[in-house]
Structure 1
Amino acid sequence: MSQSAPPPQPPQSGPADGNPYAQQAPAPAPGAPYPPQQGAFAAPPAPSAPARNNVVLGLVAALAAAVVVGALYGVIIGATKHEIGWAAVGVGFVVGLAAGKAGGRNPVLPIAGAVLALGSVYLGQLVGEAMIIANHFDASFNEVFFEHLDAVQKIWKEDADPLTFVFFAIAAFAAFSGAKKAAA
């Protein structure tokens, strides 16, 4: 029985042959069935994802989002003179999304996001109530909200109905699930 010889390979030129511009044939990657083609470039290394387990960053992002979307929710309530359920869902989801995206998978963040979403919805409802009061008495929003916040809270308590607290629960749930999904 005779063995066959491998097919002839073209000569490789490289820096060792006196040609500084010639490339050596790259070695095949471990587990690759064929070596890469002559002159092919290796793919750049994939950028590593930043380690996201920063509780402080997640809390700061969630707090900032809670203030902004809470104020926006209040403007919606003040403009429409109604509480809107889907807006409360959006408030909660944005707060949770900010916590999860900035802070990562830390188990504290969904809970903190839910608590901050409750505060954000409450802030929004107070802002909306103050806007309605300011329009009714032809006063400025700043005067009503900052100088008479105790009266705004008293009126909010009188206007609160079971649906108000359903919006709180919806926002907290949306924040919790939003933080979980964003960190995944």
Structure 2
Amino acid sequence: MTNQQLKLRSMIVTALFAAIIGVLAQITIPLPQVPITGQTLAIGLAATILGSRYGTLSVLLYLIIGSTGVPVFAELSGGISKLVGPTGGFLVGFVPAAFIIGFYMEKTSFTFKNAMIANTIGMIITLAFGTTWLKISADLTWTMALAGGFTPFLVVGLIKAALASWIGIIIRKRLVSAKLLFSTHPNIKQESL
């Protein structure tokens, strides 16, 4: 396969994962300040399967599409106002979370244990960004911001981290063995569960 074909395949997979994030974002459990969504599960899947570069690019593409007004954010919403509103910190936090998840996996190995560690770190990064922005944008105290943007999401976040790790490693392993996904980093270890 030529470099041009690999680049095209990578761009297609990146766009596909941006779409998957948009679809899973519509799975919501409404809460007063910030809803529980499938977005974080999709972010974990993208980074676990694609790694730091293409996982992060898929998140950036998703955010660009949503900020232009296409209703891909939670509850079929879109627009730049979502990025600066109370939930904007969570959306922006997806970018460093995806990068760190993928980077951690690339520096260690693609195993469930490492994926779980990486996805847990990614969840904490997303919650930290989201809680900080919720405090600032809604003019809340730290106690109120933590109660509305961090604490209610810990248990669900760990469940989603486990799901993203388990499903992501299985899918990545199958895509690599089918030669549909190739390592973009020479030191990435492809290990089984």
Fold-level match, TM-score > 0.5?
no
TM-score normalised according to structure 1 size: 0.34
Structure number with the higher helix fraction is 2
TM-score normalised according to structure 2 size: 0.33
Structure of higher RCO (CA pairs closer than 8 Å, 6+ residues apart): 1
Give the number of the structure whose alpha-carbon radius of gyration is greater. Answer: 1
